[in-house]
Chains A and B, each alone.
Chain A
C-alpha cells in the first residue's frame, strides 16, 4: 500500500501556527514548516504529534523541541523522539522550564541521551529489583537514592541515576548490581566501624586513597567468601588484567583473611603510607565521604540510643518487679550468646534470658542489630534508664515523622505511597506523582450513631429485612448426577422406569448447595470541602445505615474517606478496614468524618483498589460516594485532566477485576460520569436527603 502524500509546507505551517499559538507567541514557524515539508508523511506526522503533545504543557518548550528534532532528524528514531519528549516534560514537571529547555537545546545532552536510549539503564528501572536484592542480602530494607557520586552514607546507597559506561544494557545492569553489592559490603563487613571515626581529622587524600584500595581488597575477599558468583561478576567488571606487584599481592593475602577488619586495614594503611601507591579504582568502587558518614552515623547513634533506651525502659516497666534487673542483663545479650551468664542470674533468670532473646519486640530486635552494626556490641551506657532528654528526642522524632504532620514542617515523603498519574495530553503517566498517606481518624465518641439509629430505626429494620432476603440459604438440590446422598424419590421413579423398560435417568442424587456471597465492598467516601454541612451529615448517616444492614448480610466491607490538597498531599482516612469490626471505635470514626480539602480521585482509587485487591473475595466492589467532579487545588485537576486520570484509575481497577460504582449527588454528573464509570455503573441521587434510603437499595441491586 502506498503511504499518503506528504503535507505541503503551507498545511504544515497552519498546523504549527495553531499548535504554537503564533497569534500570541509570535514564534517563527516558516522555516520549520519548510524543513518538515521535505520529510515523508509518517515522519511529518510523528513530529507534529510530538509538537502537539508537548505544546499542551508548554508552548515554548514544544517549539524548541521541534526545532531541535528537525535539526537532528537523521539521528532520530521514532522511539527516541518520543522518549526525548517525555523526558523533557518530566524535567519540566520536576525542575521547571529552564531545566527542560537545557535538555532540548544542549547538543551534548542529546548525544548522551541517545546513547542512554541505546545502551543505558536508568536507576528508576532497576531500583525495585535492587531493593529486593539488597533486602534479601541484608535482611532489612536498604534505602537507594540517585546521586552522580557513587557512595554510601551507612544508611542509604547512592547510585548514579543513569549508567551507560558499558557497551550493552545487560552489562550496565550488572554494573548497577555490582555497585550496590560493593556499597552493601561496606555496611555489612564493617567499613564504617568506630576505628575509622577515631582517626584524627582531616584525613589526607593520600591516606584516603590508600585506605580505599585496601578496604576494597578486604571487601572483595569477603564477597568472594559469601557470594562467589557476585565476586566473579566483580572480577569481570574490574577490567584490569595487570598483575599486582609483589607487595600488593602480599597485602592482598593479609587483607583476605576472614579475621581482617577495618582496624587492620587502618594499621596496614598507616604502615605503607608514602611507600605504596594506591591501585586504580574499578568502576564499581564507590567514593568514601567519611565526614558525611560520620555525621549520618552520629545522628543515627543519638536517635537509636534514645529510641533504644525508651523502648528498653518501657519493656522493663512492663515486667514484674523482680525480673526487671534480669531483663536488662538479658537484653545486653539478646542473641543468648555467652549463655554461661544465665547461671549467674537469680532464680528464674535463665527463663527471662530465653524469653527475652526469643520474644523481644521485633522493633527492639532490629534496633539491637542496627546498634551492633555501629559498635559491634551494645555499649553498656545504653542499658541505663531513659532520661527526660531521650524522651523529648523520641517525641520530637515521632512528631516530625508522623504522616499527619507533613504540612507543618519541611515537606517529606516518608510514610507516603507514591502513585502514578495519567496525563491524557501526553498519553503517558507521570511517574510516582502523587504522595498519598493513609491516616486513621481519631474516633469521636458522641451520640451521632445512636441518634442516626433512632432517627432511621424503621429504615434500618427494613434494610435488614431486604438484605436478609439477599442471603442465599443453603438448599438441597434434587435429581443431580452426583452428590452426597441418594434422592430416594428419583430412585423409586428410576426403578419403576426400569421395570417398564424405559431408559434410566442417571440423576439420582441429592446435592447440598451452599451459597457463599464472598463479596468484598469498599466504600470510598468523598470528604472534600464541598461536602461541608448537611451533605457530610447525610453521608455519615448513610454509612451508619449501610453498616447496620451489612452486619446482617455478612459481606466484608471497608470504609475509607478521601481528600487532600495537591499531588503532594493526597490523604485517605481509614474509618473501617476489612478486618476491623463494626464497634464503638468505628462508629466514633464515622462520627468524626469531617470535610477536608479537595478531591484528587485518581490516587485515592489506585490506593483503595490495591487494598481491595489484597482482600480475598470472588467479587470486589468499589463504591464511590461523591458530590462532584474530581477537583484539586490550582484548578488543573478539575478539568479534563482530572476526569481522564480518574477514568484511567478506574480502568486499571477494572482490569484487576474490581467493579467500580459511583453514587453521586452532582446534578452535572451526566456530563462526566458515563465516561468514568460507564452508563450503568452510577446512580445520581437528585434529592440528597434520600441518600441514606437509597444507598441500601443500590447496594442490594448491585450485589444481587
Chain B
C-alpha cells in the first residue's frame, strides 16, 4: 500500500455540525483557502477535520505542534545511511505532493519562526519552496492546509503572529448547546439519554467555574470519556471523578467541589 493511503479515512467519522462550518470549509477548500480552527480543547476541532477529510475523500496528515518543532520537521531533511545522504519528506511536503489535507494541531505551541515555513503555502501562491533541495513544490488544487489553536491559552508568549493569522479563514468552535452535546454523548458512548443529559448539565456547571478556579470547563471529549466508563459499568460519580474532575484540576478544594457536584446530580 502506498504510504499516503494510510492517512485516508475510510469510515465516516461521527460529526455533529453546529452551524454552517461544513459549507464554509467546503467553500474554502474549493477556493484553495487555508483554514484556522479556533476553540477550547475537546470541542470537536480534530474530529471536524477527520470528517471533512472523509467527506472530501482526501488523506489527512495531522501534525501535533510542540515548541521543539523545527521547520525541517515539517518539510523534510537529509539523513545519512551507509555514508550516503538521502532526503526524507516531512509531513507538510508529503501532503503537498499527495494533495492531502495537512492539519497542524495546536499551532501556537510551535515556535513562531517555525510557522513562517507555511506562509507561501497559505496565500495565493500555494507553493512550498525547499531551499535544501533547491526545488519549489506547487500545491495541487486538492491540497489544503488547516491549523487549530485554543485562544483560551493565549498569552503573550503563545500567540499567532499577525502575518500568520491573517492568511486564514477562521472558524470558531465552541461547546455545543445542550441538546447537540447530549446527542453526541449518546452517539459516541451508547449511554442512555437521561444520564447523558445530566452529564451535560454537569459540564455546564464546571464551565461556570472557568476563570474562577478552573482554566477550562469540562470539554465534550471528557464527557464522552465519562459516558464510556459509565456504559462499562462504572458508577456515575466515579466516572465523573476520574474522567472529568481529575482531568480538570489538581486543586484539592476544587476537586471536592466538582466531585460533590456530580454526586448531587446523579
Q: How far is the CA of A169 from the CA of B53 in the complex (A)?
A: 56
Instruction: List residues of chain A with CB within 8 A of the CB of B220.
Output: none
Which one of B32-40, B184-192, B258-266 is at the interface? B258-266
Q: Nearest A residue to B77 by beta-carbon distance?
A: A484
Which residue of chain B lies nearest to A230 when distances are taken between CB atoms in the complex? Answer: B264
CB pair A491 B257 closer than 8 Å: no
Contact A132 B257, CB 8 Å, known A485-B72, A491-B80? yes
Instruction: Please tell me which stretch of A135-143, A254-262, A277-285 contacts chain B, meaning at least 4 of its Cβ atoms lie within 8 angstroms of it.
Output: A135-143
Is the CB–CB distance between B70 and A133 below 8 Å? no
Stretch with Cβ within 8 A of A (4 or more), from B18-26, B93-101, B171-179, B201-209: B201-209
Chain B residues whose C-beta falls within 8 Å of the C-beta of A137 in the assembled complex: 205, 208, 261
Minimum CB–CB distance for A433 against chain B, Å? 20
Per the bound structure, the CA–CA distance linking A407 and B65 in Å amounts to 52
B148-180 vs A, CB cutoff 8 Å, 1 = contact: the mask equals 000000011110000000000000000000000
Given contacts A486-B78, A508-B80, contact A133 B257 (CB under 8 A): yes
Asked if B134 is at the interface (CB within 8 A of a chain A CB), the reply is no
Against A, the Cβ 8 Å flags (1 = close, 0 = not) of B224-266 are: 0000000000000100000000000000011011101111111
B170 to chain A, nearest CB (A): 18
Alpha-carbon distance between A157 and B197 when the two chains are bound, in angstroms: 29
Bound complex: CA A75 to CA B41 (Å): 55
Q: Decide if A229 is an interface residue (CB 8 Å cutoff).
A: yes
Contact present for B70 and A512 (CB under 8 Å): yes
In-complex Cβ contact of A135 among B85, B156, B212, B237 (8 A)? B212
Give me 25 A-to-B residue pairs in the complex whose CB atoms sit less than 8 angstroms apart, sorted by A's number.
Answer: A128-B253, A129-B254, A129-B256, A132-B209, A132-B212, A132-B257, A133-B260, A135-B209, A136-B208, A136-B261, A138-B208, A228-B265, A228-B266, A229-B265, A230-B263, A233-B264, A484-B71, A484-B72, A485-B78, A486-B85, A491-B85, A514-B113, A556-B156, A616-B155, A616-B157
CA distance A133 to B205 in the complex (A): 9
B63–chain A nearest beta-carbon distance, Å:
16
Contacts of A229 in B (CB 8 A): 237, 262-266
Distance of A666 from chain B, by nearest CB (Å): 35
Given the known interface contacts A491-B80, A508-B80, the answer about A141 and B253 at a Cβ–Cβ threshold of 8 Å is no
- Docked-complex contact A132 and B156, CB < 8 angstroms: no
- The answer, yes or no, to whether A383 is at the interface (CB within 8 Å) is no
- A250 is an interface residue with CB less than 8 A from chain B: no
In the complex, whether A227 has a CB less than 8 A from a CB of chain B is yes
- In the assembled complex, the Cα of A181 lies from the Cα of B260 at a distance in Å of 11
Docked CA distance A130–B261 (Å)? 10
CB neighbours (8 Å) of A508 from chain B are 80
* CB neighbours of A181 from chain B (8 A): 264
Encode A212-239 as 1/0 by CB contact (under 8 A) with B: 0000000000000001111001000000
Contacts of A233 in B (CB 8 A): 263-264
Number of A-B contacts (CB under 8 A): 82
Query: What count of chain B residues pass the 8 Å CB interface test?
Result: 36
Cα A124 to Cα B264 in complex, Å, equals 22
A129-B158 Cα distance, complex, nearest whole Å: 32
Q: Is A328 an interface residue (CB 8 A)?
A: no
Residues of B within 8 A of A494 (CB): 83
Q: Does A531 contact B (CB under 8 A)?
A: no
CB of A177 within 8 Å of the partner chain: yes
Residues of chain B within 8 A (CB-CB) of A131 are 257
Given A177-B260, A230-B264, A233-B264: A484 touches B70 (CB 8 Å cut-off): yes
Question: A129 with B209: in contact, given A229-B266, A485-B78 (CB under 8 Å)?
Answer: no
- Interface pairs A-B: 3 shortest CB-CB: A132-B257, A230-B264, A484-B72
Instruction: Indicate whether A495 reaches chain B with its CB closer than 8 angstroms.
Output: yes
**Shortest distance from the beta carbon of B195 to any chain A beta carbon, whole Å:** 11
In the complex, the answer to whether A579 meets B156 with C-beta atoms within 8 Å is yes
Chain A, 328-381, CB within 8 A of any chain B CB? none
- Tell whether A40 is near chain B: CB-to-CB under 8 Å: no
Chain B residues whose CB sits within 8 angstroms of the CB of A135 once the complex forms: 208-209, 212-213
**B125 cross-chain contacts in A, Cβ below 8 A:** none
CA distance A139 to B263 in the complex (A): 18
Across-interface contacts of B70 in A (CB, < 8 A): 484, 512
- Chain A residues within 8 Å of B79, by CB: 486
Contact B254–A132 (Cβ < 8 Å): yes
Q: A498 to B83, Cβ gap below 8 A?
A: yes
B157: chain A residues at CB < 8 Å are 616
Contact of B209 among A136, A485, A556, A616 (CB under 8 A): A136
Shortest Cβ gap from B87 to chain A (Å)? 10
- Asked if B2 lies at the interface with its beta carbon under 8 angstroms from chain A, I say no
| Extra inter-chain contacts (9) besides given A229-B264, A486-B78, A514-B111, CB under 8 Å | A132-B254, A133-B260, A136-B257, A230-B264, A233-B263, A484-B73, A485-B72, A486-B85, A579-B156
Instruction: Give Cα A98–Cα B71 distance, bound, in whole angstroms.
Output: 73
A616 to B213, CA, bound (A): 17
- Nearest chain A CB to B183 CB, angstrom units: 21
Residues of B within 8 A of A498 (CB): 83
Tell me whether A129 and B253 are in contact in the complex, defined as CB-CB below 8 angstroms, given that A136-B205, A229-B263 are known contacts. Answer: yes
Which residues of chain B are within 8 angstroms of A133 by Cβ–Cβ distance?
Answer: 257, 260-261
Residues of A within 8 A of B156 (CB): 556, 578-579
Contact check, B265 vs A129: say whether CB atoms are below 8 A apart: no
Report the minimum CB–CB distance from A217 to chain B (whole Å). 19
Per the bound structure, the CA–CA distance linking A337 and B85 in Å amounts to: 68
Taking the nearest CB of chain A, how far is it from the CB of B9, in angstroms?
31
Closest CB of chain A to B122's CB: distance in Å?
22
Q: Contact flags (1/0) for A170-212 with B, using CB distance below 8 Å?
A: 0000000100010000000000000000000000000000000
A323 vs chain B, min Cβ distance (A): 25
- In the complex, A145→B218 CA distance in Å? 29
Q: Give which listed residue, B73, B111, B206, B257, contacts A129 with CB less than 8 A.
A: B257
Q: Which residues of B contact A512 (CB under 8 A)?
A: 70
B60 CB → nearest A CB, Å: 25
Please tell me which one of the listed residues B132, B206, B253, B263 contacts residue A136 in the complex, with CB atoms under 8 A apart. Answer: B206
Asked if B213 and A132 make an inter-chain contact with CB atoms under 8 angstroms apart, the answer reads: yes
Q: B205: which A residues are within 8 A, CB to CB?
A: 136-137
Which has the most chain A C-beta neighbours within 10 Å: B80, B132, B155? Answer: B80
Tell me the nearest residue of chain B to A578, going by C-beta. B156
Residue picked from A130, A132, A135, most chain B C-beta under 10 Å: A132
State which residues 551-581 of A face B: CB under 8 Å. Answer: 556, 578-579
| Nearest A residue to B236, CB-CB | A229
What residues of A have a CB within 8 angstroms of the CB of B265 in the complex? 227-230
Minimum C-beta distance from B106 to chain A (A):
15
Name the residue of chain B whose CB is nearest to the CB of A140.
Answer: B208
Q: How far is the CB of B45 from chain A (nearest CB, A)?
A: 22
A136 to B132, CA, bound (A): 55
Using an 8 Å CB-CB cutoff, how does the interface string of B99-125 with A read, 1 for contact, 0 for none? Answer: 000000000000101000000000000
B90 to chain A, nearest CB (A): 10
Contacts of A228 in B (CB 8 A): 265-266
Q: How far is the CA of A262 from the CA of B80 in the complex (A)?
A: 81
Central interface residue in A136, A138, A579, by most chain B CB within 10 Å: A136
User: Which residue of the partner chain B has the closest CB to A556?
Assistant: B156
- CB closest chain-B residue, reference A127: B253
Nearest CB in chain B: distance from A262 CB, A: 23
**A132 to B77, Cβ gap below 8 A?**
no
User: Which A128-171 residues sit within 8 Å CB-CB of chain B?
Assistant: 128-133, 135-141
> Which single residue of chain B is at the shortest CB-CB distance from A512?
B70
Complex CA–CA separation, A185 to B221 (angstroms)? 30
Q: Nearest chain-B residue to A511 (Cβ)?
A: B70
| Assembly CA distance A578 to B156 (angstroms) | 9
